[in-house]
Structure 1
Amino acid sequence: MRALSRAGPAVLSAALILIGFTAVTVQIVLMRELMVVFYGNELTVGLMLASWLLWTAAGSGLVGKLKVWPSRPERLLAVLQASVAAAFPLSLLAARAGRQLFHPVPGEVLAPGQMLLITNGVLAPFCVLSGWLFAAGSKAQAHAARTPTGWATGQVYVLEAIGWGAGGLAAGLVLIRALTSFQIAWIVSGLNLLAAAWLALFGWPRRAAIAVLALLLWPAFDAAGQLDRLSRGWLWRGFQLLEVRNSVYGNLAVVQTEGSRTLYESGVAVGTAPDPAAAEEAVHYALLQHPCPQRLLLIGGGWNGSLREALRHPTLRQVDYVELDPTILALAARWFAEQWRAASSDARVQVHAIDGRLYLKKAPGPFDVIIVNLPQPETALLNRFYTLEFFREAARKLSSNGIIALRLPAAENYLSPELAQLLCSVYSTLKQVFAGVAVLPGDTVHFFAAKDPESLVRDSPALAARLEQRGVQTLYVRDYYFRFRLMPARLQALESRLNAEQARLNSDFSPASYYYGLTRWGAQFNLRYRDLLERAAGTGFAYAAAMIFAVSAALGWLAWRRGAAAVAGVATGAMGLTLMAVQVMLLVGFQVLYGYVYHQLSLVIAAFMAGMALGSRYALGRTESSDPQRLAVLQIAALVAALLIYGCFQALKGVSGSASLWAVSYLVFPGLAFGAGWMGGSQFPVASRLYFARHRMGGPGAIYAFDLAGACVGALVTSAYLLPVFGFFKTACLLALLNLPPALAALRLAVRR
């Protein structure tokens, strides 16, 4: 204990906080990098989170049992922090190089199996070390403070939660905006090396080591920027990479090839210019549906020519263009000047860098035409623009003969079953809100909806006459194209298929179209992936509920038979799964009810981590004798938590007005997140003390491994299976069933004590 006695408990506490800070920063950076590699959606995010949590659990629960330097735990802590410092930049290099193992064509999406292989290869080394750090930190804390393992583990949990909260805010709001990924790695690795030197050395060797590190790390900052540019080129072989920027919403890259430029967001192409055919299709069909459009709302995709095309209609008096990410607009001004500058400076145009649903909620109507110019609903974020609630909000903001238009990718002559279900889900949802719905067949299917069915134009001569009357000069949207796409046989075939198909309505809290988008995404790799998703969805709610309850009941009964340690382990796993699911519900629910506003989402996450840290600290101050009763109370809280949150969502659905929206975003959601974090944070020290009171075989990271294993399952199934298949309410019911047996086991334990 020579080093710790000279360094003092403050140094050890700072090192333990740094563990949490490092873990969350590395997670944010590596997952953003892998999203670029995979062109990902929620399913790929779930795979990445599950892999992260699984390997961290392995490091904490299995590797953490190793007896390395048992009498000098601070030395092991120092070595592991130095190892983490090396693992971060190496994992970053592996993330960017991993895609090349499969020699994909630029723009080709990797199959789920390939994604899983790269994800585990990139994340496993760092995560095992990170989990081992928790176990080593618990040993060092117990050794330094001379406290039992159960208490020390709870104290480390508090300090790590503080680091997670601080790191999440620093990385999410500051670092990724201002620095490249390798520069962030330079800072984080440098801090860990300094911490390792401080823990392992003392006296003049410590001062010398820190001085040498400072001298070496300073010039390496510029080298980190160069390494970032070099490795970034590996992802874009075959393209000329013009610029890369990080925004809070994703990684943006502008590339050039064969005379055109394309903007990619997190690896997905969001627009190309020049592309006059796509720009004309995006707006002209919709504007020609209205006899005299004067006010237009264009949501997304106007920077690469669509906005310029819309302004060709002389009747327009005002165009409101909404783009979520202001960094996209900055890149458009630099690299897509021909398509963007003149259009954006037109006196009729008002540009709003804001979430589209949030703007629609706040904007004064009415609009004559609303165009949703966004990709298909393959993610929960995009699904919000194809739901019953969004269409109702749009209907309230449309004029009496107003039109809403949207489009989805399709095929000229054949609709696969999963594509037909996606189209039918959106089509059926539109018909629930609007009296008239028309479709335009083609390789992109356009939907037009109006409150008055007579407002819709379904014959090509009328559309051609309006185009000629307005004097709009086009290359592709022409009279002959109208005749081809509006052939009666084609219209009848598509409408018959859509009316015959069975598909669920799409709503905010039962996102059916998001599920159909996932099945279509799976089918592009292999029909087995699609079949796997469909079989999972086809089990039905009753079967899923019975299976979840049976497994949980069996584990709860076995735990009760084996005693307090087993009950604590099962309860911690159930709490870990529940907290992960509740976090997903809160974040998706916030976007549904309020909109995607990054700094406010960060506030929700920060409130959750604050609740976890303060709840853990509160539980550490309670007497050990009341732990069985407290575990029972907290497990009952986990049983009802998701149902209470869903009830709050339903109560908040009708909220409108600036003051109410402010209260929802800054008070209600952070408050819910804080309460959920407090619940989970309060349980961990209680479960830790119960687990280690009589159980000595698992190592100090064992109870943390239970927590992470449960969170791993929650990350994998919540956003990719439970929410899109069953919706929010049934997911909350399944979580309640999951927590019932552990709650009963904890109650029996409390009564027996």
Structure 2
Amino acid sequence: MLKNVDRGFVWRLFPFFVGFVAISIQTVFVRLTLSIFQGNEIALCIVLGHWLLLTGVGSRIGAKLRCKNVLRLITFIGIVYVLLVAASSILCVFSKKLLGLPLSEILGVGPIFFISFVVLVIPSILNGIFFPLLVKAVDDAGIAFPVHKIYSYETFGSALGGVFIGLFFFSGLNSFEALFVVLGIFLFVFLALGRKGWLLKIMGVFIGVGLVFLFVFNRQIVNEVWKPQTVEKCVETRYSSVVVASYQGMRTLFSNSSPLWVFGNEEKREELVHFPLLYHPRPETVLVVGTGNYELAFEVLKHKSVNRVIIIQKDRVLQSELNSYSNFYGMDTKSTGKVKFMTGDPVRLLERFKTKVDVVILNIPLPTSAYLNSYYSLYFISRLKDVMKKGGILAFHLPGGERFLSREHVEYLKVIGNTAQKVFRHVYWIPGNTIHLLATDIVLDVNFDVVVSRLKQRKLDVKYIREYYLVDRLSPFKIQFLNDLLAECKVKKINTVEKPIGFYYETILWDKKTGGILKDLYKFLNKLNFKYVYLVFLTIPFILLTKNKKEKTIKFVIFSIGFISMSLVGLYVMIYQSYAGGIYLKIFLINLGFMLGAGLGARIIVREERLLRLGMGMAFVSVLLLSGVGILLIKFSVGYFMYDILIPVLTFFLGVNCGFLFPVLTGLLEKIGGKGVAKTSGVGYSLDVIGACIGIYVISAIFVPVFGLLNSIIFLVVYSIFVIGMGLFFTRIQA
């Protein structure tokens, strides 16, 4: 064993680096899985939920392990952990290929659930095993308050790990490179601090060499994943994984495995551009929000009256790749001089936008998340109108169908139309596989003859949007058929940030297309009166708490703390993204705030009964106040700068509460149950992270799309009052 003088230092570093590498691995796996699963928010909830759930399972397993030499066991598990995490990362990126699926194929909830479970099962379980083993080792070493100290050092490590992994990404490392660097650091620390032995050293050296090999050749791994396509460029931006790949002469730019732009695709360009511009009598300034490049600008500039094209793109690196691979089609300096690119969050850029435009083309991905839904919300559409001239046209491009539209599809279109009509006087629909929605304050003549007349008058050099094509596309029968479907639809809902109806319908359509089960659950809950949700969620804890069994009550309160805290963090992130723009790498500030708060909270060691009861009461009040501030942020705009400050501060105080409550409640559970500090800490830790897992699943993936942000946070307020309040009442807490 180590000398006594070294033990305190070693037992600080072990949990610190466990937390450091855990948050780094979690972040990398989130990025990898989102790049495989097209960045869907539901997929994010599944991945994070799996990580937390399986970590909880690992903690339970760790609580049951018995070993005379805990240090040797921890060292061995650490080395195996490095090996299996590296192997799981490779499995993750090859998962679709192993299942015989194209990399760009959109998966449903079932396959995402299965693939992410298989990828994360071993790393997550091993990650959970560390905590109870470290608590046991510290307790065996005679160090006081082992749960407080291990929990605090682990959360401090997580805070620093979040900062470092963010810096790695900022420096230009991709997910693989960042992961292998972190694993290398972790391996070195565990070999340096752990139990000495030739077998462990040999294992460590071989695994270390393997990490170096993977770091050097990670680009070749990417090339293998994308075959038979040839990867010309692969770069990870702050927001997504961008790949430019070519196959049989066709070059495509992918963002998170989804085809974002096909270079040289005239049909797509003409479809996006010419309908709104032909309906405008004389467009001069055109704004494109979202995906655009010189190819799209070239199409716009075919209208000779246009003298300015402005393209807003949130991702500077993505915009650079879109431009560098563009076909300029002989555009001269005068033409390219008419094109202006602005990079940054569209919500914030529009606040400072001075130019008035004639046509806005919204070329944003569909609302597959609460964040993307904000671009189709009443708030954002109102911001777009603020930068438009009188008589300007706003163009949406929505999924359609030539022969059939399901009831949910029609309701989805109706909601977007209702929202646009709250801002503009008139909306016009153009049917097809891509349905165009044109919103304006003036009456448009959508007659086929008018459009063809302008097409000829402007002498547009087009290949697809021509008279023979428009005869069918603008058929009065097709237009009337679509308008009749929408008129018969009685849905009057508006898509707002507070109630993301667009996200709700887009998820249903995605789930319907991929054969999942979410659509049925969403539709059932949507018809359900929200009071029944309260009834279900409050009846179960009421039955458990009123039994007045202290051990079960404390366990349920620990579970609820995890549930409430992770739900609030998820809601804070959604509030920020919806009202202040994309959070992107600022997520590390939120993680830093929460983990620092949790570490500091765990350092508050309560010794007296009165202080313990007072602390629990203060934590109870704090959760209510934090929820209340969340409600105020939803109902009242406070400015972008305040969101940048308030959200990390709120998560910091939330972390303080969690960090304080967890070791206190775990200690109380150990005194009541008498099962030993290591076993009890494993049980408590598993309940905490499983509660967090359920919070992610229920609130972020189900409640927000169906019931909205405001109802979700009000539910948490009521749940907090009921559960924590009853827990304080029924548990006669004794120090």
- TM-score where L is the length of structure 2: 0.93
Rate the CA distance shift 1:527–1:221 in 2: closer, same or farther, 3 A. Answer: closer
Rate the CA distance shift 1:362–1:682 in 2: closer, same or farther, 3 A. Answer: farther
Give runs of aligned pairs for residues 76-475 of structure 1, distance below 5 A. 76-147=73-144, 151-175=145-169, 178-201=172-195, 223-303=213-293, 305-338=295-328, 346-450=336-440, 452-454=441-443, 456-475=444-463
Structure 2 residue aligned with 1:664? 643
Partner of 1:238, secondary structure, is coil
Letter in structure 2 aligned against 1:540: N
Structure 2 residue aligned with 1:603? 589
Structure 1 residue aligned with 2:699? 718
Contact 1:271 1:304 in 2 (8 A): no
Contact 1:85 1:193 in 2 (8 A): yes
Greater mean deviation of Cα atoms: 473-482 or 506-515 = 473-482
> Partners of 2:62 and 2:136 in 1: how far apart?
13
**2:488 equivalent to 1:484:** no
> Partners of 1:370 and 1:118 in 2: how far apart?
40
> Partners of 1:681 and 1:99 in 2: how far apart?
39
> Partners of 1:344 and 1:320 in 2: how far apart?
15
> Partners of 1:543 and 1:489 in 2: how far apart?
45
Partner of 1:437, secondary structure, is strand
Rate the CA distance shift 1:396–1:332 in 2: closer, same or farther, 3 A. Answer: closer
Partner of 1:104, secondary structure, is coil
Rate the CA distance shift 1:605–1:215 in 2: closer, same or farther, 3 A. Answer: closer
> Partners of 1:329 and 1:338 in 2: how far apart?
15
Rate the CA distance shift 1:606–1:313 in 2: closer, same or farther, 3 A. Answer: farther
Rate the CA distance shift 1:586–1:472 in 2: closer, same or farther, 3 A. Answer: same
Contact 2:563 2:693 in 1 (8 A): yes
> Partners of 2:329 and 2:538 in 1: how far apart?
57
**2:62 equivalent to 1:63:** yes
Contact 2:238 2:584 in 1 (8 A): yes
Unaligned runs of 5+ in 1: none
**2:549 equivalent to 1:562:** yes
Rate the CA distance shift 1:432–1:274 in 2: closer, same or farther, 3 A. Answer: same
Structure 1 residue aligned with 2:635? 650
Letter in structure 2 aligned against 1:261: R
Give runs of aligned pairs for residues 497-516 of structure 1, distance below 5 A. 497-503=485-491, 504-516=493-505
Structure 2 residue aligned with 1:736? 717
User: Size of the alignment, in residue pairs?
Assistant: 730
Rate the CA distance shift 1:339–1:309 in 2: closer, same or farther, 3 A. Answer: same
Identical counterparts, % of pairs: 24
Partner of 2:436, secondary structure, is strand
**2:551 equivalent to 1:551:** no
Contact 2:20 2:160 in 1 (8 A): yes
> Partners of 1:306 and 1:406 in 2: how far apart?
16
Contact 1:99 1:235 in 2 (8 A): no
> Partners of 1:699 and 1:334 in 2: how far apart?
58
**2:524 equivalent to 1:535:** yes
Contact 2:378 2:496 in 1 (8 A): yes
Contact 1:61 1:701 in 2 (8 A): yes
Contact 2:606 2:612 in 1 (8 A): no
**2:575 equivalent to 1:589:** yes
Contact 1:65 1:700 in 2 (8 A): no
* 1:515 positional shift: 0.6
Rate the CA distance shift 1:372–1:342 in 2: closer, same or farther, 3 A. Answer: farther
Letter in structure 2 aligned against 1:719: S
Greater mean deviation of Cα atoms: 578-587 or 497-506 = 497-506
Give runs of aligned pairs for residues 15-54 of structure 1, distance below 5 A. 15-54=14-53
> Partners of 1:603 and 1:199 in 2: how far apart?
30
Letter in structure 1 aligned against 2:404: Y
> Partners of 2:704 and 2:436 in 1: how far apart?
27
Structure 2 residue aligned with 1:613? 599
Greater mean deviation of Cα atoms: 456-465 or 21-30 = 456-465
Structure 2 residue aligned with 1:521? 510
> Partners of 2:626 and 2:490 in 1: how far apart?
34
Deviation per CA, 1:365-405, whole angstroms, max 9, x where unpaired?
42222111122111222111111111112222221111111
Give runs of aligned pairs for residues 627-638 of structure 1, distance below 5 A. 627-638=612-623
> Partners of 1:36 and 1:642 in 2: how far apart?
32
Structure 1 residue aligned with 2:661? 683
Contact 2:108 2:516 in 1 (8 A): no
> Partners of 1:139 and 1:81 in 2: how far apart?
16
Contact 1:3 1:199 in 2 (8 A): no
Deviation per CA, 1:24-68, whole angstroms, max 9, x where unpaired?
111111222222332341111111111111110011123322212
* 1:275 positional shift: 0.7
Letter in structure 1 aligned against 2:127: S
Greater mean deviation of Cα atoms: 87-96 or 472-481 = 472-481
* 1:506 positional shift: 0.7
> Partners of 2:287 and 2:526 in 1: how far apart?
36
* 1:363 positional shift: 1.2
Contact 1:571 1:635 in 2 (8 A): no
Greater mean deviation of Cα atoms: 696-705 or 573-582 = 696-705
Letter in structure 2 aligned against 1:669: I
Greater mean deviation of Cα atoms: 301-310 or 426-435 = 301-310
> Partners of 1:441 and 1:163 in 2: how far apart?
55
Rate the CA distance shift 1:83–1:606 in 2: closer, same or farther, 3 A. Answer: same
Rate the CA distance shift 1:185–1:341 in 2: closer, same or farther, 3 A. Answer: farther
> Partners of 2:672 and 2:17 in 1: how far apart?
31
Give the 4+ runs in structure 1 shifted more than 6 A: 212-219, 339-345
Rate the CA distance shift 1:27–1:342 in 2: closer, same or farther, 3 A. Answer: farther
Contact 1:303 1:329 in 2 (8 A): yes
Deviation per CA, 1:169-207, whole angstroms, max 9, x where unpaired?
2213424752243333322222222222223346xx79x
> Partners of 1:633 and 1:47 in 2: how far apart?
33
Contact 2:361 2:395 in 1 (8 A): yes
Letter in structure 2 aligned against 1:740: I
* 1:523 positional shift: 0.5
* 1:142 positional shift: 2.3
Partner of 2:395, secondary structure, is strand
Contact 1:427 1:498 in 2 (8 A): no
Aligned CA RMSD, in angstroms, stands at 2.6
- TM-score where L is the length of structure 1: 0.91
* 1:521 positional shift: 0.6
Letter in structure 2 aligned against 1:61: R
Letter in structure 1 aligned against 2:22: A
> Partners of 2:576 and 2:333 in 1: how far apart?
33
Partner of 2:246, secondary structure, is strand
> Partners of 1:175 and 1:68 in 2: how far apart?
39
Partner of 1:446, secondary structure, is strand
Rate the CA distance shift 1:347–1:641 in 2: closer, same or farther, 3 A. Answer: same
Partner of 2:457, secondary structure, is helix
